[in-house]
């Protein structure tokens, strides 16, 4: 087998890109079975993947790609028709292919039973009559096939087919023995069809604290639950009807978003270059400051030339880490397709601006937040087909992703034309859960509603689904964005739809910032957060309800004195009649930050902070100045 690490990384990098194209083409093909361009695209890509896998001697992958290639060759020659059932088999096979690729990348044993997928695909392109298969996926146990005739036979006998999950106490010492007792009790109560993990693994204690089983019984689910709970050290028993759906953990979407591993150039090498580039940028700033103290035209000219070259090198190095945002957005076509099918809804995704390039690190950070928002749109926002028809809305529903570049930052808008957010309901729910007081809701706006929605544990769902209802979601989105200086906003109109707006930095490595002096300390404020800087007369500072405000072009802006907020002593300003203010875009409206002096703009290299400093309110990071001093980067959105 080829062992050269460079070949491996090249193979896995290209496989990831090809699989993304395959999923995109399959989604288009499912919408239009006569889309011959999509058929040819998948055929070509599977042919390429087959050759690559064979070269690497990944025989399982080569066989699976060969069978998929045969199916699409039969599509091209119109020997077989494209149906929803056939498309489901193809999607499952592509998911299996992606999982094998991931296992090989991580050098783990292949966790997919390849022969079963090969058999299914063979039946498709050989046009043999397929035997309908019910697939049940147990955690950590692969896919088990059942003859639905057997399930139907049991039901006709008056037996209930139940899915049971058993959870043992956390400190259970003899897990295998307890699991054995549970199985024996279950066998006394009915017929055990399947157990996961396998019985051998249970006996050897090779499972966590829970396991699952499928059984047929004439008894009521509640009696089964009570019977199993009588066994010592059984913490919890969940019993639910088996309805030919995936158990407990849904079949994983292997098109889910993964961290980007390589871009032809290994990412690790790019990161090293960026670190060196950052250090070089710091040295450049220091050199410029030193030269200012010497009256030498030649030295100044040389320094100016070096500064220009380093700045050019810095820009080009940053561009090396840029990727079009389509790298992650294209995956969402498949995500929307799978989620809507599971919920019996219909929705189409439209994306604009996917060609805009973003730093790889930013892409990695926003993948999960975007996935959360897509899932929320489908679960909470989009109505069922019947509801939409009753309301006179178009079917399918629409989900829009729009990407813009503004003022050195990236704006991503995720919107839907669904039911919208009932602000009154959210406010009432927030009051009931004591996330907010009734007095605080007298003048409520979208920003405050978003604050409730992003409170950890908040959910309007009374019933937990596989998609939502556990109070986990928007708080994760907000935390992710806050962690790298982003921002989340909300617009919604009841009955018409909802829009979430994400504001992101273009890159996380080197950013433009405004340096300000507060007391004896220098701070950096990211330029993307700054609207303008002003100097006002002290007498123009007014008070409204004990809050200092200023008036800028007919706009009333509250101001906060950074020295007070940061608990440091302010210096006596040289100009005692004027006050320097940096106006930044706050969460609800613009706010003014009073500083002792505005030093000026500068490119800064963002440095990571220790864990205990990260928790300090109002501090987003740190940077090293040209003279070697450390300056903290202010998180202006959370400083007050």
pLDDT average, residue stretch 153-176: 82
In this predicted structure, the answer to whether residue 38 has a pLDDT above a threshold of 60 is yes
Q: Indicate the SS3 state at residue 502.
A: strand
For residue 607, the 8-state DSSP code is B
The pLDDT of residue 135 is: 41
* Spatial contact of 512 and 600, defined as CB atoms under 8 Å apart: no
Q: Which of the listed ranges 171-180, 344-353, 460-469 does the model predict with the highest average pLDDT?
A: 344-353
Residue percentage of the chain with pLDDT more than 70: 80
In this predicted structure, the answer to whether residue 414 has a pLDDT above a threshold of 90 is yes
pLDDT average, residue stretch 564-573: 72
pLDDT average, residue stretch 57-74: 87
**What would you report as the CA-atom Rg of the chain, rounded to the nearest whole angstrom?**
30
Pairing of strands 555-561, 590-595: parallel
- Residue predicted with more confidence, 563 or 320: 563
Q: Is 543 a catalytic residue?
A: no
- Residue predicted with more confidence, 3 or 347: 347
**Chain-wide mean pLDDT for the chain?**
78
d(CA 440, CA 445): 11
pLDDT average, residue stretch 338-360: 87
pLDDT in tens, 141-162: 333 444 455 666 777 777 888 8
The confidence band for 612, taking pLDDT boundaries of 50, 70 and 90, is low
Minimum mean pLDDT range among 70-79, 335-344, 512-521, 568-577: 568-577
The pLDDT of residue 256 is: 43
In this predicted structure, the answer to whether residue 547 has a pLDDT above a threshold of 80 is yes
Which is catalytic among the residues 9, 21, 35, 47? 47
Q: Indicate the SS3 state at residue 228.
A: helix
Look at residues 36, 70, 63 and name the one whose alpha carbon lies nearest to residue 118: 63
* Spatial contact of 73 and 47, defined as CB atoms under 8 Å apart: no
315 CB-near residues (< 8 Å, 6+ apart): none
In this predicted structure, the answer to whether residue 480 has a pLDDT above a threshold of 60 is yes
d(CA 87, CA 337): 12
Which is catalytic among the residues 30, 60, 69, 383? 69
Scanning 173-266, the segments in alpha helix (DSSP H) are 175-189, 199-203, 221-229
d(CA 39, CA 42): 5
* Spatial contact of 233 and 168, defined as CB atoms under 8 Å apart: yes
**The two structure tokens encoding residue 301:** 């000219």
In this predicted structure, the answer to whether residue 300 has a pLDDT above a threshold of 60 is yes
DSSP string across 437-504: -TGGGTT--HHHHHHHHTSTT----SS--SSS-SS-SHHHHHHHHHHTT-EEEEEEETTTEEEEEEEE
d(CA 640, CA 622): 19
- Residue predicted with more confidence, 128 or 24: 24
Domains of the chain (ranges; CATH) run 5-130 (1.20.120.160), 143-241 (3.30.70.1110), 262-321 (1.10.287), 324-505 (3.30.565.10), 510-634 (2.40.50.180)
Per residue, what are the HEC states of 296-334?
Answer: CHHHHHHHHHHHHHHHHHHHHHHHHCEEECHHHHCHHHH
The pLDDT of residue 606 is: 75
Scanning 454-602, the segments in alpha helix (DSSP H) are 474-483, 562-565
d(CA 268, CA 564): 42
In this predicted structure, the answer to whether residue 594 has a pLDDT above a threshold of 60 is yes
The pLDDT of residue 397 is: 92
pLDDT average, residue stretch 16-32: 85
pLDDT average, residue stretch 432-444: 68
d(CA 621, CA 596): 21
* Spatial contact of 168 and 209, defined as CB atoms under 8 Å apart: yes
The pLDDT of residue 46 is: 87
- Residue predicted with more confidence, 206 or 255: 206
The pLDDT of residue 499 is: 92
Q: Is 69 a catalytic residue?
A: yes
pLDDT average, residue stretch 530-544: 86
Model confidence pTM above 0.75: no
* Spatial contact of 525 and 433, defined as CB atoms under 8 Å apart: no
d(CA 334, CA 291): 57
pLDDT average, residue stretch 604-620: 67
Which is catalytic among the residues 92, 376, 380, 383? 376
The confidence band for 571, taking pLDDT boundaries of 50, 70 and 90, is low
What does the angle CA 444 – CA 450 – CA 455 come to, to the nearest 5 degrees?
115
Q: Indicate the SS3 state at residue 424.
A: helix
Q: End-to-end CA distance of the chain, in Å? A: 59
The pLDDT of residue 620 is: 74
Q: Is 135 a catalytic residue?
A: no
């Amino acid at each position: 087998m080829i062992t050269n690490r460079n070949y491996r990384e090249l193979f896995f990098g290209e496989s990831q890109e090809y699989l993304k194209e395959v999923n995109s083409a399959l989604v288009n093909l499912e919408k239009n079975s006569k889309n011959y361009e999509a058929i040819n695209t998948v055929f070509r890509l599977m042919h390429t993947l087959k050759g690559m896998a064979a070269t690497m001697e990944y025989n399982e992958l080569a066989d699976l790609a060969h069978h998929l290639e045969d199916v699409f060759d039969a599509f091209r020659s119109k020997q077989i028709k494209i149906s929803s059932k056939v498309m489901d088999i193809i999607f499952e096979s592509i998911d299996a292919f992606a999982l094998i690729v991931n296992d090989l990348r991580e050098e783990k044993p292949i966790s997919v039973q390849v022969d079963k997928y090969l058999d299914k695909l063979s039946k498709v392109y050989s046009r043999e009559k397929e035997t309908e298969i019910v697939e049940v996926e147990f955690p950590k146990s692969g896919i088990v096939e059942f003859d639905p005739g057997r399930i139907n036979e049991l039901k006709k006998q008056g037996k209930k087919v139940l899915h049971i999950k058993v959870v043992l106490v956390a400190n259970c010492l003899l897990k295998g023995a307890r699991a054995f007792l549970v199985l024996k009790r279950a066998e006394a109560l009915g017929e055990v069809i399947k157990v996961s993990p396998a019985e051998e693994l249970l006996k050897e204690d090779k499972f966590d604290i829970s396991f699952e089983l499928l059984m047929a019984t004439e008894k009521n689910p509640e009696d089964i639950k009570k019977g199993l709970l009588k066994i010592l050290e059984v913490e919890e028993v969940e019993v639910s009807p088996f309805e030919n759906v995936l158990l407990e953990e849904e079949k994983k979407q292997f098109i889910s978003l993964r961290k980007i591993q390589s871009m032809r150039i290994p990412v690790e090498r790019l990161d090293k270059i960026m670190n060196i580039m950052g250090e070089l940028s710091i040295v450049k700033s220091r050199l410029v400051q030193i030269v200012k103290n010497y009256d030498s035209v030649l030295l100044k000219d040389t320094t100016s030339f070096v500064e220009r070259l380093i700045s050019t090198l810095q820009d080009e190095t940053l561009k090396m880490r840029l990727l079009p945002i389509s790298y992650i957005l294209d995956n969402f076509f498949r995500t929307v397709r799978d989620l809507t099918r599971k919920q019996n809804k219909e929705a189409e995704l439209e994306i604009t601006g996917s060609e805009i390039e973003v730093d790889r690190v930013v892409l990695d950070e926003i993948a999960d937040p975007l996935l959360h928002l897509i899932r929320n749109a489908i679960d909470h926002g989009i109505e069922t087909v019947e509801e939409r028809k009753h309301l006179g809305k178009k079917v399918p529903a629409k989900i829009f992703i729009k990407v813009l570049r503004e003022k050195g930052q990236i704006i991503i808008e995720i919107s839907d034309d669904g039911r919208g957010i009932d602000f009154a309901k959210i406010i009432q729910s927030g009051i009931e859960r004591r996330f907010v007081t009734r007095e605080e809701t007298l003048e409520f706006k979208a920003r405050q509603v978003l604050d409730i929605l992003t409170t950890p544990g908040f959910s309007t769902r009374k019933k937990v689904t596989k998609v939502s209802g556990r109070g986990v979601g928007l708080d994760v989105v907000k935390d992710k964005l806050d962690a790298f200086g982003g921002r989340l906003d909300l617009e919604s109109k009841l009955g018409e739809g909802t829009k979430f707006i994400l504001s992101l930095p273009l890159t996380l490595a080197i950013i433009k910032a405004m340096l300000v002096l507060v007391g004896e300390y220098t701070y950096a404020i990211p330029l993307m957060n700054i609207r303008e800087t002003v100097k006002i007369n002290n007498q123009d500072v007014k008070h409204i309800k004990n809050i200092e405000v200023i008036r800028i072009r007919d706009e009333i802006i509250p101001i906060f004195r950074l020295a007070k907020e940061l608990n440091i002593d302010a210096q006596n300003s040289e100009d005692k009649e004027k006050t320097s203010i940096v106006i930044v875009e706050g969460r609800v409206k613009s706010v003014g930050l009073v500083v002792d002096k505005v030093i000026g703009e500068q490119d800064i290299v963002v440095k990571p902070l220790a864990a205990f400093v990260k928790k300090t309110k109002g501090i987003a990071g740190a940077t090293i100045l040209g003279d070697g001093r450390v300056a903290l980067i202010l998180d202006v959105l959370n400083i007050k």
